[in-house]
């Protein structure tokens, strides 16, 4: 606890002193400090992110459960965090020379996730997606969802521009284009959509809220209003993921956070991912 | 991994989950000797189940021209190359299954087809280099024979797709052994696509989930055979339920062909999944090829099938293929008539062992016309 207090003091000091000279970003810190700001930035490239100190989180392959990630890929993810008191926004930044945002057979997409224990306490649950009875909240962002939110259409030609497709049954007469009957018929030809699988779109947000109690158990969570936005440029992703603080985390308190990154070009998906362990997360470090 | 019994291998083997056989197991027999590659089955499935967005490339049912045809491309050869030493000692498999050969960190020995591997649904279609006057232009291992291999999901007793899914999104129904991907739970990791050696799970890029043959379960539940069965032009297919090997009943047509007469054999039993579509091997293909595809029983199965003209029970039962849309729970032969019965032993169809043949003279002198005798 004493060590933690010292850490807290050090980080507050770092954040405060460097905020004065805003042109220069604060030096890297050993924990994730969510720095207080009036308005949270929606985009990952806004200047206000420079006010937050950077935490460089080393990543390790998921090697607890099969299928494991056998070849390590993303070595580190650079984290900054801001908070307006209600919501905490993380900016994840990692190097990825290939932008993978088109799903297909054997075509995985880039993705990342932020994980926070549902109940704050001295001992967080297992860092690999929690434990039975000790759930974790996950906010998951995907590059293909981002592309859809950015305007990619919901047709096969949006994925394969040269595709030729025979008419679909749900486009046939006497169904009136755009009618509820037609929409209903189209859903029946997309089983995952008919079952309201969050995974299946069409999407209005690039993030999905999940709750998990161990590997392979993630389920849709009750909506919390999480948001996200990612930009790929010059060989790296910058992704903002924002979510409300857990109820039991107040200003000045600590909880834990963990991150995961998937590189589509490396066929990473699901259990095949790079992850961090738990990292201390300080709510509302002074600015 | 658990230890489970695989009757097709004649031994115990390793599997991701403990043995839990369903109350009954959906199964089918395909007679490769009768398939004409008309692809009506493929279209029957396509129009029924996979005409939605993202399903364009999917063929839950496909028919490939062996030896070279394959969908996705080289799905069989790619795995056979990785699985070394597929040795049989009599009817016992002495090699490793894809579960036993799983590399460290993996649940099964698998591989991932690339997008373009789905671009050639039947490469080598009808390729045959025999009977060429001046000899064949190219020399390949299999020269003067081919046959058609119709494939659907095998609704395996030990599905690799199910074992490979880290989320438990794939399940095997207790009531009929049909293997399904839960479309509400799947998150599109494609581990099943990688794991299924028959490559019968397909990723849907529009819904982001993996989809597969559902054995037309809404029809099965009503006692009706699946779409690709009832629409089969060549009448090569019969659907039903397979009993455990030690509880085979002669009156059950699938048991009779698989367990008792052993004329219908699993596809690539050495992979270890205990697949439940059984094939009567093509009798004109080389034995070594048939043994690689269908296991050590291929020679005996070919001999039994060749003997069918003098084997009224076997020939009789084969006449029931494609004779009724209903599931045939039992069958019997009385003289020259073969009957298919439902579960309550009521007759649902009766067919003659030999169809009456009428031959008309090709030329009708009265009307001065030439006629074609079409069946
Ligand atoms: S419909 Fe029957 S005969 Fe035609 S290709 Fe399919 S299995 Fe073969
Ligand atoms: S054939 Fe493939 S998809 Fe079908 S049950 Fe077996 S492993 Fe699963
Ligand atoms: S059994 Fe039904 S779902 Fe499966 S391939 Fe045949 S038609 Fe398609």
Distance between alpha carbon B97 and the CA centroid of its chain, in Å? 19
| B110 reaches A (C-beta below 8 A) | no
Please write the tens of the pLDDT for every residue from A80-106: 999 999 999 999 999 999 999 999 999
Q: Which atom of ligand 2 is nearest to the CA of B199?
A: 2
Task: State the Cα angle at B204 between B107 and A232, rounded to 5°.
Answer: 90
How does residue B109 score in pLDDT terms, banded at 50, 70 and 90? very high
Residue of A nearest to B204 (CA): A104
pLDDT at residue B135, as a whole number: 62
Question: Which residue in B52, B166, B203 is closest to A216 by CB distance?
Answer: B166
Instruction: Tell me the pLDDT of chain A averaged across its residues.
Output: 90
> Do residues B188 and A140 touch, judged by C-beta distance below 8 A?
no
CA-closest candidate to residue B169, choices B140, B152, B193, B144 = B193
Q: Which atom of ligand 2 is closest in space to residue B154's alpha carbon?
A: 1
Residue carrying structure tokens 């009779």: B256
Task: Say what percent of chain A tops pLDDT 70.
Answer: 91
Helix H or strand E encompassing A260: strand A254-262
pLDDT band at B227 (very low <50, low <70, confident <90, very high): very high
Which value does ipTM take for this structure?
A: 0.89
Nearest CA to ligand 2 atom 2: B196
Please answer yes or no on whether B207 and A154 come within 8 Å at the CB atom. Answer: no
pLDDT at B204: 97
Of residues A256 and B127, more confidence is placed in A256
User: Taking a C-beta distance cutoff of 8 angstroms, is the pair B176, B183 a contact?
Assistant: no
Instruction: Please list, in sequence order, all residues whose beta carbon lies within 8 angstroms of the beta carbon of residue B89, skipping any fewer than 6 positions away.
Output: none
Length of chain B: 375
Least confident of A39-43, A94-98, B137-141, B266-270: B137-141
Which residues in chain B have their CB less than 8 angstroms from residue A272's CB?
189
Q: Quickly state the pLDDT bin for A14 (edges 50, 70, 90).
A: very low
Whole-number Å distance between alpha carbons of B66 and B45:
21
What's the number of CA atoms in the CB half-sphere (13 Å) around residue A31? 26
* Binding site membership of B43 for ligand 1 (Cβ less than 6 Å): no
pLDDT digits (tens, 9 = 90+) for B184-217: 999 999 999 999 999 999 999 999 999 999 999 9
- Range 228-257 of A in CB contact (< 8 A) with B: none
The count of CB pairs under 8 A between chains A and B is 132
Average pLDDT for chain B:
94
Q: Please check whether residue A190 is in contact with residue A200, taking contact to mean a CB–CB distance below 8 angstroms.
A: yes
**pLDDT tier at A12 (50, 70, 90 boundaries)?**
very low
Backbone angles phi, psi at B193, to 5 degrees: -65, -40
Ligand 1 pocket: which of B28, B36, B277 to mutate (most atoms within 8 A of CB): B36
**pLDDT tens digits for B10-64?**
999 999 999 999 999 999 999 999 999 999 999 999 999 999 999 999 999 999 9
> For the ranges A161-170, B56-65, B105-114, B244-253, which has the lowest average pLDDT?
A161-170
Place of tokens 């696509």: B193
> Got the DSSP string for B90-116?
TTEE-S--TTTTPPTT-SS------GG
Q: Are the Cβ atoms of B190 and A269 closer than 8 angstroms?
A: yes
Looking at per-residue pLDDT, the higher value among B23 and B129 belongs to B23
pLDDT at position A122 is 86
Identify the structural domains of chain A with CATH numbers, from first to last: 33-154+201-285 (2.60.40.1190), 155-199 (no CATH)
pTM of the model: 0.92
Query: Is residue A11 scored above 80 in pLDDT?
Result: no
Interface test mutation site (partner A, options B1, B15, B43, B52, max chain A beta carbons within 10 A): B52
Q: Determine the average pLDDT of the residues in A54-80.
A: 96
Query: Which domains are assigned to chain B?
Result: 2-280 (3.30.70.20), 324-375 (no CATH)
């Amino acid at each position: 606890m004493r060590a933690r207090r010292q850490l807290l003091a050090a980080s507050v000091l770092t954040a405060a002193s460097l905020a004065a000279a805003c042109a220069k970003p604060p030096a890297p810190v050993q924990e994730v400090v969510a720095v207080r700001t009036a308005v949270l930035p929606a985009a990952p490239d806004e200047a206000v992110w420079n006010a937050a100190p950077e935490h460089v989180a080393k990543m390790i392959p998921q090697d607890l459960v099969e299928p494991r990630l056998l070849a390590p890929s993303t070595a580190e993810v650079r984290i900054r965090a801001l908070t307006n008191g209600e919501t905490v926004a993380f900016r994840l930044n990692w190097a990825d020379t290939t932008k993978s945002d088109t799903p297909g057979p054997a075509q995985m997409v880039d993705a990342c996730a932020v994980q926070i224990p549902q109940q704050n306490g001295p001992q967080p649950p297992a860092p690999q997606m929690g434990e039975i009875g000790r759930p974790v909240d996950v906010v998951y962002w995907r590059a293909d969802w981002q592309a859809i939110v950015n305007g990619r259409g919901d047709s096969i030609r949006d994925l394969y521009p040269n595709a030729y497709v025979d008419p679909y049954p749900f486009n046939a007469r006497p169904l009136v284009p755009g009618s509820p009957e037609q929409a209903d018929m189209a859903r029946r030809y997309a089983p995952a959509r008919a079952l309201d699988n969050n995974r299946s779109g069409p999407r209005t947000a690039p993030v999905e809220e999940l709750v998990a109690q161990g590997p392979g158990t993630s389920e849709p969570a009750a909506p919390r209003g999480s948001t996200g936005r990612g930009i790929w440029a010059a060989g790296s992703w910058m992704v903002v993921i924002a979510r409300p603080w857990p109820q039991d985390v107040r200003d000045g308190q600590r909880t834990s956070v963990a991150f995961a990154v998937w590189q589509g070009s490396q066929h990473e998906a699901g259990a095949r991912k790079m992850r961090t362990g738990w990292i201390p997360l300080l709510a509302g470090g002074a600015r | 991994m658990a230890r489970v019994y695989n009757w097709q291998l004649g031994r115990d083997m390793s599997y991701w989950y403990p043995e839990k056989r369903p109350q009954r197991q959906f199964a089918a027999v395909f007679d490769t000797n009768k398939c004409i590659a008309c692809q009506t089955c493929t279209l029957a499935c396509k129009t029924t189940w996979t005409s939605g967005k993202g399903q364009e490339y999917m063929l839950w049912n496909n028919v490939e021209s062996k030896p070279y045809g394959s969908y996705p491309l080289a799905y069989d050869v790619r795995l056979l190359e990785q699985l070394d030493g597929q040795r049989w000692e009599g009817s016992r498999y002495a090699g490793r299954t894809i579960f036993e050969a799983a590399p460290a960190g993996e649940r099964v020995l698998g591989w991932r087809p690339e997008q373009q591997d789905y671009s050639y649904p039947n490469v080598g279609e009808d390729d045959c280099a025999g009977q060429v006057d001046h000899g064949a232009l190219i020399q390949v291992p299999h020269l003067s024979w081919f046959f058609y291999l119709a494939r659907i999901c095998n609704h395996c007793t030990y599905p690799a797709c199910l074992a490979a899914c880290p989320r438990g999104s794939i399940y095997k129904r207790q009531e009929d052994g049909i293997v399904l991907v839960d479309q509400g739970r799947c998150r599109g990791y494609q581990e099943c696509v990688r794991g299924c050696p028959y490559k019968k799970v397909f990723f849907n890029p529009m819904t982001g989930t993996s989809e597969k043959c559902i054995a037309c379960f809404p029809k099965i539940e009503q006692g009706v055979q699946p779409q690709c069965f009832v629409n089969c032009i060549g009448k090569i297919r019969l659907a039903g339920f397979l009993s455990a090997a030690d509880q085979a009943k002669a009156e059950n047509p699938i048991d009779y062909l698989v367990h008792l007469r052993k004329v219908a054999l699993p596809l690539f039993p050495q992979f270890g999944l205990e697949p439940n579509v059984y094939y009567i091997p093509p009798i004109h293909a080389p034995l070594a090829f048939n043994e690689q595809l269908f296991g050590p029983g291929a020679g005996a199965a070919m001999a039994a099938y060749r003997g069918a003209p003098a084997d009224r029970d076997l020939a009789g039962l084969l006449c029931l293929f494609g004779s009724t849309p209903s599931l045939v729970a039992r069958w019997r032969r009385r003289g020259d008539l073969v009957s298919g019965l439902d579960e309550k032993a009521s007759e649902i169809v009766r067919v003659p062992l030999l169809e009456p043949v009428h031959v008309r003279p090709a030329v009708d002198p009265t009307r001065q016309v030439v006629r074609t005798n079409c069946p």
